[in-house]
Amino acid sequence: EAEVAQSPRYKITEKSQAVAFWCDPISGHATLYWYRQILGQGPELLVQFQDESVVDDSQLPKDRFSAERLKGVDSTLKIQPAELGDSAMYLCASSLGLDGGVEQFFGPGTRLTVL
Amino acid sequence: AQSVTQLGSHVSVSEGALVLLRCNYSSSVPPYLFWYVQYPNQGLQLLLKYTSAATLVKGINGFEAEFKKSETSFHLTKPSAHMSDAAEYFCAVSEASGTYKYIFGTGTRLKVLA
């Protein structure tokens, strides 16, 4: 069964360091999402790609976060510099396309701890 | 803007008892609605979705949900809880146009007592 892959699964870093997360969506899925999930809360969309283009990054803290999906397949989310408040689970999801009611398939997530 | 409210951050039921997890949404037009389940240190898995077809939606693992437009609700139920149902459950609403992005509720952690 096809799955969304993410790495690393766990990351511990110190404040002010740079971190990067990688996501490989299900093959053929044109839409890719990065979410941040703070403990005890629901996922919050950070950025959404359609192929290689960003269609929504309204909640992405652009002073320190960046995301790319250069070839419209896998994607990288970067934080530089990391802050204590960035400690959270970062989830990647993918879907076939932009359409109402389309299911998003989630990866296992990367749990980030900033010390 | 769309929003989702899940009443009860923690719900405990006995094994074999009815499970009822509540979700209310705010939307001026009929939205798309979803229930996802998350097990510890894992991603989210779709339980069921409402896309303006039947108002009673059946999902996986014996769960179902009923869309009630007059109450702006989409509560999740299961007739008989199993120990394996212990997890966190998220209700989400999708915009009906544009990027169709999801807005998630804050989640309800279900505990099943033996």
Q: How many CB atoms lie within 10 A of CB A66?
A: 16
Condensed to tens digits (0 to 9), the pLDDT of residues A73-90 reads: 999 999 999 999 999 999
Measure CB to CB from residue B51 to each of A41, A100, A107 and give the nearest one: A100
Query: How close B110 comes to chain A (CA, Å)?
Result: 13
pLDDT by residue for chain A (115 residues), tens only, comes to 789 999 999 999 999 999 999 999 999 999 999 999 998 899 999 999 999 999 999 999 999 999 999 888 999 999 999 999 999 999 999 999 877 778 999 999 999 999 9
**Mean predicted lDDT score pLDDT of chain A:** 94
Interface check for B51 against chain A (CB to CB < 8 A): the answer is yes
Report yes or no: A3 and A106 within 8 Å, Cβ to Cβ: no
CB B111 within 8 A of CB B11: yes
pLDDT digits (tens, 9 = 90+) for B41-57: 788 999 999 987 788 99
